[in-house]
């Protein structure tokens, strides 16, 4: 499920884990691209900020 991008909360409920943290601690290693995606998002936010017009 995690490799198919099923939301963590759904996996948590399906697996009977007490929290999403338990799910991530157990299966988070299966999503190595997550750290890369987070870094990319942070870089974009810093270097390509959206300008809010009111």
Tokens coding 7? 């939301």
Please indicate, yes or no, if residue 29 is contained in any of the structural domains.
yes
Mean pLDDT of the chain: 84
Section 36-54 average pLDDT: 77
Q: Percent of the chain scored above 70 by pLDDT?
A: 85
Please indicate, yes or no, if residue 54 is contained in any of the structural domains.
no
Please indicate, yes or no, if residue 18 is contained in any of the structural domains.
yes
Under a CB-based contact definition with an 8 Å cutoff, are residues 9 and 20 in contact?
yes
Section 6-26 average pLDDT: 93
Please indicate, yes or no, if residue 53 is contained in any of the structural domains.
no
User: Which letter does DSSP use for residue 24 in this model?
Assistant: H
Please indicate, yes or no, if residue 25 is contained in any of the structural domains.
yes
Domain assignment of residue 25, given as a range: 2-47
Please indicate, yes or no, if residue 52 is contained in any of the structural domains.
no
Nearest to 31 by CA among 4, 49, 10: 4
User: Which residues does 26 contact at the CB level (< 8 Å), separation at least 6?
Assistant: 17
**What is the per-residue pLDDT for 41?**
83
Section 16-24 average pLDDT: 94
Q: How many domains does the chain have?
A: 1
Please indicate, yes or no, if residue 41 is contained in any of the structural domains.
yes
Instruction: Return d(Cα 28, Cα 36) in angstroms, integer.
Output: 14
């Amino acid at each position: 499920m995690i490799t198919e991008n099923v939301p963590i909360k759904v996996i948590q409920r399906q697996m009977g884990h007490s929290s999403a943290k338990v799910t991530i601690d157990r299966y988070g290693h299966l999503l190595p691209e997550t750290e890369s995606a987070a870094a990319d998002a942070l870089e974009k936010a810093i270097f390509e900020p959206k300008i809010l017009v009111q």
